[in-house]
Amino acid sequence: MIAYIIRRLLLLPIILIGVTFLIFCMFSLLSPMERLATYVNDPSTLKNPQAAERIIEKYHLNDPFPLGYIQWVKRIAKFDLGWSQAANQPVWDAICQRFPATLELVIYSIVPVILVGIWLGVISAVHHNDIIDQSIRVTAIVGWSLPTFIFGLLVLFVFYGILGWLPPGRLSTWAQDIVYTGTNFHSYTHLVTIDALLNGNIPIFVDALRHLCAPIITLSYVYWAFLLRIARSSMLDTLRKDYIRTARAKGVDEHTVIHKHAERNALIPVVTIAGMLIIGMLGGVVVAETVFTYPGLGFWAATAAQQLDYGSVIGFALLFALIMVVGNLVVDVSYAFIDPRVRLE
């Protein structure tokens, strides 16, 4: 297994170089003026040729292609990603400030997705072709066909418009006053729900949860449908395997057959898919945050894209690509732990 992990780790720098290079290529599609704009925090600078020249010099924006790439990577390594007009602060600061909100959303969404998705997928496969399976399948295919933004608007309409239960945003105004400007509230993790509990402030916790629910529902419905399909077909495949018949021939009870013999094997491919799920979710985050004006990375990036704030958009792409690369690495390594055929290689 060590050889496998080392091989996988050796691949990491290649992928990282490739990813940054690809982003730099996209960056290079911009006109020199637009590229310059990503490093400028004051629009009047652009009108001043000398000041502009200084910045072009400083950031090596006129260097030929390979050198320009190297300079660019060097700046990234120092977290200098330019200036975000949408947030009116450096891109890196904007990322740091919004990251916890998005993290909180993704963590809370991924748990129901994985548990419900796999659970229903297994049930669906065990009851292959009967009424339970059919209804789960239909729910899943509808969910899979439901674009996140439309489902999000539906959730917003029902739970906010009609019922008034789940408001958009991250916190109510009174809660913002306490959390962001209050003196008695300490932000330990910047995950509001957890901070609220650490501060023993239950009203804030409830308020934060109320705001989180709608984007969580939106994100998870679409993705559990996706995972369910994978889990179901993988489980169906596994239940046809000879070793399942062997287990039954030994007199193993159905519960053990499904949970010990089949599930372990069926979930190995599902782990791989979990990587793809993170990819999908990161895209969904942009939509869910925009629909519910939830102040995370996705909302910021969408706003920046509308305003043609290239610096923020490039920084955002870079960050999400890195998260993906690391996520895939984690998935591949955990794959090795689950499957003895790889582990004992």
Q: Within positions 289 to 308, which residues make up the interface with other proteins, using CB under 8 A?
A: 290-291, 301-302, 305-306, 308
162 binds other proteins (CB under 8 A): yes
Question: Which of 58, 74, 186, 245 lies at the binding interface for other proteins (CB under 8 A)?
Answer: 245
Least Cβ distance, residue 203 to other proteins (angstroms): 24
279 binds other proteins (CB under 8 A): yes
Residues 70-109 that bind other proteins (CB under 8 A): none
Backbone angles phi, psi at 84, to 5 degrees: -95, 115
Closer by beta carbon to other proteins, 185 or else 224: 224
337 binds other proteins (CB under 8 A): no
341 binds other proteins (CB under 8 A): yes
264 binds other proteins (CB under 8 A): yes
- DSSP annotation of 134: H
Strands 89-90 and 83-84 come out as antiparallel
Closer by beta carbon to other proteins, 151 or else 205: 151
Q: Which two tokens stand for residue 249?
A: 């021939």
321 binds other proteins (CB under 8 A): yes
316 binds other proteins (CB under 8 A): yes
Backbone angles phi, psi at 30, to 5 degrees: -75, 155
Least Cβ distance, residue 219 to other proteins (angstroms): 13
Q: How many residues bind other proteins (CB under 8 A)?
A: 79
E strand or H helix at 280, and its extent?
helix 263-291
Question: Which of 314, 332, 335, 336 lies at the binding interface for other proteins (CB under 8 A)?
Answer: 314
Which of 206, 272, 222, 195 minimizes the C-alpha distance to 110? 222
251 binds other proteins (CB under 8 A): yes
Which of 116, 341, 105 minimizes the C-alpha distance to 232? 116
CB 324 within 8 A of CB 102: no
273 binds other proteins (CB under 8 A): no
Closer by beta carbon to other proteins, 53 or else 254: 254
* Listed ranges 172-180, 191-199, 207-215, 318-326: which one lies at the site for other proteins (CB under 8 A): 318-326
CA atoms 189, 156, 114, 203: torsion sign: positive
Residues 13-32 that bind other proteins (CB under 8 A): 14-15, 18-19, 22, 26-27, 29-30
Q: Which two tokens stand for residue 327?
A: 């996520």
Which of 291, 271, 283 minimizes the C-alpha distance to 323? 283
Residue type, 128: H
Q: How far apart are CA 333 and CA 143, in angstroms?
A: 30
Closer by beta carbon to other proteins, 122 or else 287: 287
Q: How far apart are CA 170 and CA 186, in angstroms?
A: 17
203 binds other proteins (CB under 8 A): no
Which of 234, 291, 287 minimizes the C-alpha distance to 117? 234
Residues 121-160 that bind other proteins (CB under 8 A): 128-129, 138, 141-142, 144-150, 153-154, 156-157, 160
DSSP string computed for 37-59: HTT-S-THHHH-HHHHHHHHHHT
